[in-house]
Amino acid sequence: MSPEAVAQPLSALSHTPIDFPQPYSTEAFDQYVMSTYARYPLTIARGQGCRLWDTAGREYLDFVAGIATCTLGHAHPAMVATVSSQIQALHHVSNLYYTPAQGALAQWLVQHSCADRAFFCNSGAEANEGAIKLARKYAHTVRQIEEPIILTAHASFHGRTLATITATGQPKYQKGFSPLVPGFHYIPYNDIAALEQAIAELDRPTPRVAAILLEALQGEGGVNPGKVEYFQRVRQLCDEKDILLICDEVQVGMGRSGKLWGYENLGIEPDIFTSAKGLGGGIPIGATLCKAKCDIFQPGDHASTYGGNPFACAVALTVCQTIERDRLLENVQDRGEQLRRGLRAIAQKYPEHIEQVRGWGLINGLVLQQDSPMTAPDIVKATMAAGLLLVPAGPKVLRFVPPLIVTAAEVDAAVAAVEQAFAQI
């Protein structure tokens, strides 16, 4: 490129639109892409707000949001403006240098949470991996524990790396990947007696429990909220024994619960917490945040080539500021209550199929009766036919995680589509 071209603004440069093969072929997709997902027979072409359109032009109401990721929906004007301006200014440099976007995002997150420091990466699994490493280093260097153990809950989900699938208390995710990473022990969720017993047994004859890693609300585990009394006892035990409390906020954080962070619903503060998914509104970014007492990483201890790059951080900061400026937490609370009210009305009509409705804010689960022949995947397919996209959280829980900008009319439309699905199945 000539010096004259470099000096021109991006809009003045000639460019060629992306040329996708036409007509689009799912067969070609499957030929070249690994089969790590059981995909629905639906090809999404574009999105706007809480709506998606497939390649045939059919419209869908999106209550999946990239699995609790598209905080501001699709093509939000604030995100479009930031993406356009930041890509023209600076999209990536090494973390060997300071960048304003990373510093500003870290400042916002710290000022709006219990944390004192932030580390940036690319995903929730990486954020949890960083939390695990930080807890292990704290155990070795501060508490002199030679073989630290981290407690995690049954039915939890913490990621797909080897350490995080080991931390995940669901054997189906671990099958075929042994040997797993040592140093994890599983406990029932929301069970105080089991937690106390596990700590007592594992800390005999010398302390070994380094951290307790929990989701404030289990997302993949069936949209199962934490109990206040349980988490407050966890916090008390951690304070007494210098155990680090880690909250996985990857799915429930960034306003989805009706509060900015899930732990705020439980009246506790973690020592470390993680964020991803909704943090970037669909642009890949993750963060491990911690209090000063466990901010013990030194240069060389942990790193991420792409983590904290100016592009992702600028977009994430825009998401954060939009949540605050547009008072989206109020919308999450109002629309969440509206959604649960509508789903409970359906549950009353079909008690033989629906056990309960549970959740916080805009992360909600419609729990099916165990003896009902209906499954969550069955209903997902039926609502898809009615123009509503949902996602299971296990075989018997239907998950509702729309963008935080969802309107009252869109919630009503979603409830109507669910009722139609139950009437037809």
- 12-69+328-424 against 80-325: fold identical: no
Angle, helices 310-325/328-349, rounded to nearest 10 degrees: 70
| pLDDT at 319 (0 to 100) | 98
Q: Does domain 80-325 have CATH number 3.40.50.1400?
A: no
What count of residues does the chain have? 425
Share of the chain above pLDDT 70, in %: 96
Which residue is listed with tokens 């994430």? 316
Q: Could you tell me the two tokens for 18?
A: 């992306």
C-beta of residue 239 within 8 angstroms of C-beta of residue 271: no
Cβ neighbours of 94 (radius 10 Å): 9
Mean pLDDT of 109-126: 98
More confident residue, 5 or 186: 186
| pLDDT at 22 (0 to 100) | 76
Domain boundaries, the chain: 12-69+328-424, 80-325
From residue 113, how far is each of 64, 195, 324, 337, 358 by CA, in Å?
26, 26, 13, 24, 25
Task: Indicate if the pLDDT at residue 413 is higher than 80.
Answer: yes
Query: What is the reported pTM?
Result: 0.94
Report the chain's mean pLDDT, rounded to a whole number. Answer: 95
Mean pLDDT of 267-290: 98
Q: What is the pLDDT of residues 342-351, one digit of tens each?
A: 999 999 999 9
| pLDDT at 11 (0 to 100) | 46
DSSP letter (8 states) at residue 227: P
Task: Indicate if the pLDDT at residue 16 is higher than 70.
Answer: no
Share of the chain above pLDDT 90, in %: 94
C-beta of residue 234 within 8 angstroms of C-beta of residue 243: no
Task: Indicate if the pLDDT at residue 4 is higher than 90.
Answer: no
CATH topology of domain 12-69+328-424: Aspartate Aminotransferase, domain 1 (3.90.1150)
- Sheet arrangement for strand 388-389: 44-48, 51-54, 59-62, 388-389
Q: What is the pLDDT of residues 298-320, one digit of tens each?
A: 999 999 999 999 999 999 999 99
